[in-house]
Structure 1
Amino acid sequence: MSSMLGARPEGTDGSDHWHRESIAWQYRLSSINKSRLKFDIFLQMLLGFLMFMRLLPALSALFGFSFQSLRRWDLPAPRPWEYAWIISISAAVLGWRSTSYNKSFLLKQYMLGTVVFGLFPVLFGFIDVSNDLYVYITERKYTYVMFSFPAILLWSTFLFIAAQLHVFGLYFSSVLLKAWKPRGKKVQ
């Protein structure tokens, strides 16, 4: 063994470090995909905040509140898939909490909530807006306007972004579940 002040053993220049200790693959994968999943969930929550602001006039009217400033927004009535999609934010919170202590149960709940309240409403939303989008593409006609844009473009953009975020979140979650799987003894 060589000391800091002593000579290096003969026959080595220090480049033989590849066989020494390294971080196991599951810990490396866990670290990388945790940060990816957290960023994905952050973007989902940001999208959820935008959807909440879009639904705020309808929600306030639903609960009997009347705000004059919300009426000035002049937004079209919310579609059913928008109400269902906003619930997926609660699943995103579960996914965020699962990454702190490698809680597989919470991560599985996140995945289930993402499929049920994230992907299914997005799929239903694509079906719901497909006719309007076709009419807009072929004839440049649209029914609703939101923030001085055709609402069909905003809905389609939202659905496209949400679908990508949910698919990436499910992929990162499945990689994390594989990395967090307990390692048992091999049975011979």
Structure 2
Amino acid sequence: MASRMTMAQALGTDGSDFTHRQRIATQYQMSATNKSRLNYCIFFHYLLFVVMLAKLSPDILDRLDIFILEIEELQIPQPLWWEYIWSSSLLVSFLGLSAIKKNNIKTLQRYMIGICILGFGPLIYGVMYYSSDVWEYLTIGKTSEIQLWKDLPYGLLWYAFILVAYQVHSFSLLFSWKLMAAWKARGSRKYD
């Protein structure tokens, strides 16, 4: 639609000279962008939790005395304690969602601490626990002395999961850090 000259406009302008005044402050742009990115990271955290829950389901069903033949035939190895601790990091994600919704710096800091303890801590333990099996498989190539699941090295499967989880948690911390910086910049301008 073409712009027409009206009596309310100044002579010699088409009315588009106001665009320089419609800029969004940088901290608000950063806040919106990083909120969206952190939401994606939390979504991927939920997807990883579903994968972990599928791995833990035989043990959970055994503890509840529920027998499902198809799951038992998969012969999934018994879980270690670090898998349950990592699964509890899902609860921390609700802090992150709450912080995003309310722009609360304290809640976001708690989310970041929770991800460091419940997210990265178990992953580091998993890397150390399976390091000898992965090293033996990658250097020697023998599978006779390492744990296998469906003819695949179990430690290497965990390393794939740990790599993805590490990336998700790292990006979550990065976007949380940028959100805190944007929110603090907004607060400092208000007091000036």
TM-score range (shorter-chain normalised) is 0.7 to 0.9
Task: Specify the alignment match of 2:191 in structure 1.
Answer: 185
Please report how far the alpha carbon of residue 107 of structure 1 lies from its aligned counterpart in structure 2 after TM superposition. Answer: 1.8
Report 1:22-33 matches (<5 A): 22-33=23-34
**Cα RMSD, aligned residues only:** 2.3
The alignment covers a number of residue pairs equal to 183
Task: Specify the alignment match of 1:152 in structure 2.
Answer: 155
**Per-residue CA distance 1:1-24 (angstroms, 9 max, x = gap):** xx94246544x6777657423101
> Where does structure 1 lack aligned partners over 5 or more consecutive residues?
none
Higher helix share: 2
> What is the SS of the residue equivalent to 1:100?
helix
Using the TM superposition, name which of 177-186 and 129-138 deviates more: 177-186
Task: Specify the alignment match of 1:69 in structure 2.
Answer: 70
Please report how far the alpha carbon of residue 178 of structure 1 lies from its aligned counterpart in structure 2 after TM superposition. Answer: 1.5
Please report how far the alpha carbon of residue 47 of structure 1 lies from its aligned counterpart in structure 2 after TM superposition. Answer: 0.4
Task: Specify the alignment match of 1:45 in structure 2.
Answer: 46
Please report how far the alpha carbon of residue 145 of structure 1 lies from its aligned counterpart in structure 2 after TM superposition. Answer: 3.1
* TM-score, structure 2 normalization: 0.84
Task: Specify the alignment match of 1:120 in structure 2.
Answer: 121
> Where does structure 2 lack aligned partners over 5 or more consecutive residues?
none
**Which letter maps to 2:78?**
A
* TM-score, structure 1 normalization: 0.85
Asked if the contact 1:76–1:145 (Cα under 8 Å) also holds between the matched residues in 2, the reply is no
Please report how far the alpha carbon of residue 87 of structure 1 lies from its aligned counterpart in structure 2 after TM superposition. Answer: 0.8
Task: Specify the alignment match of 1:175 in structure 2.
Answer: 178
Using the TM superposition, name which of 132-141 and 56-65 deviates more: 56-65
Query: CA separation of 1:4/1:144 partners in 2, compared to 1, >3 Å: closer, same or farther?
Result: farther
